[in-house]
C-alpha cells in the first residue's frame, strides 16, 4: 500500500497496517460505490445510494459498515488499475456487508442538536 501523503491517506495509516488487523472487519463482501464524472452532484448521489444499500442490508438481516478510511486507497491509480476501475471514476463509499457474528445492542443516542434559522422579511 502506498503511503504517499499526496494521495491524502490518513496520517494514522501505520495503526491500520498492524499485522492481523482487518479494517474490513472480516466481511465476505465489499461494495465500492464510485462516482462517474460529468453528472450533477455525483458524490452526493453515491452517498444516497449507499444509505439505501445500508438500509436494505439491515432489512434482510445483514450487517454493514462504511469504511471511509479506505476511500483514499481505492482512489490510488494502482488500486484502480488492479480492480479495473476507470481512472476518471472516483471511489466514494466502500461498504462491507456480511452476516453479523452476534447481535449488537442498541446504540445510545444523544439528544439531537437543532439549529433553526429564521428569515425576517
Query: Which residue ranges make up each domain of the chain?
Result: 5-98
- Counting Cα atoms < 13 Å in the Cβ hemisphere of 51 gives 6
Give the integer Cα–Cα distance in Å for 109 and 7. 35
Pick from 55, 109, 112, 67: nearest CA to 91:
67
Query: What is 5-98's CATH topology?
Result: NADH Oxidase (3.40.109)
Pick from 107, 90, 109, 1: nearest CA to 45:
90
Outline where 17-59 has alpha helix (H).
Answer: 42-59
pLDDT at residue number 10: 65
pLDDT in tens, the chain (121 residues): 444 544 556 666 676 677 877 888 888 899 999 999 887 899 999 999 999 999 999 999 999 999 988 898 899 999 999 999 999 999 999 999 999 888 888 889 999 998 888 877 6
Amino acid at each position: 500500500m502506498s503511503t504517499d501523503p499526496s494521495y491524502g491517506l490518513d496520517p494514522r495509516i501505520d495503526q491500520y497496517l498492524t499485522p492481523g488487523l482487518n479494517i474490513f472487519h472480516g466481511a465476505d463482501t465489499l461494495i465500492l460505490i464510485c462516482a462517474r464524472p460529468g453528472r450533477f452532484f455525483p458524490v452526493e448521489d453515491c452517498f444516497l445510494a449507499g444509505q439505501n444499500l445500508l438500509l436494505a442490508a439491515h432489512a434482510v438481516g445483514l450487517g454493514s459498515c462504511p469504511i471511509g478510511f479506505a476511500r483514499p486507497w481505492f482512489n490510488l491509480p494502482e488500486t484502480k488499475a488492479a480492480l479495473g476501475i476507470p481512472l476518471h471514476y472516483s471511489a466514494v463509499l466502500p461498504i462491507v456487508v456480511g452476516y453479523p457474528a452476534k447481535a449488537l445492542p442498541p446504540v445510545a443516542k444523544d439528544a439531537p442538536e437543532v439549529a433553526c434559522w429564521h428569515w425576517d422579511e
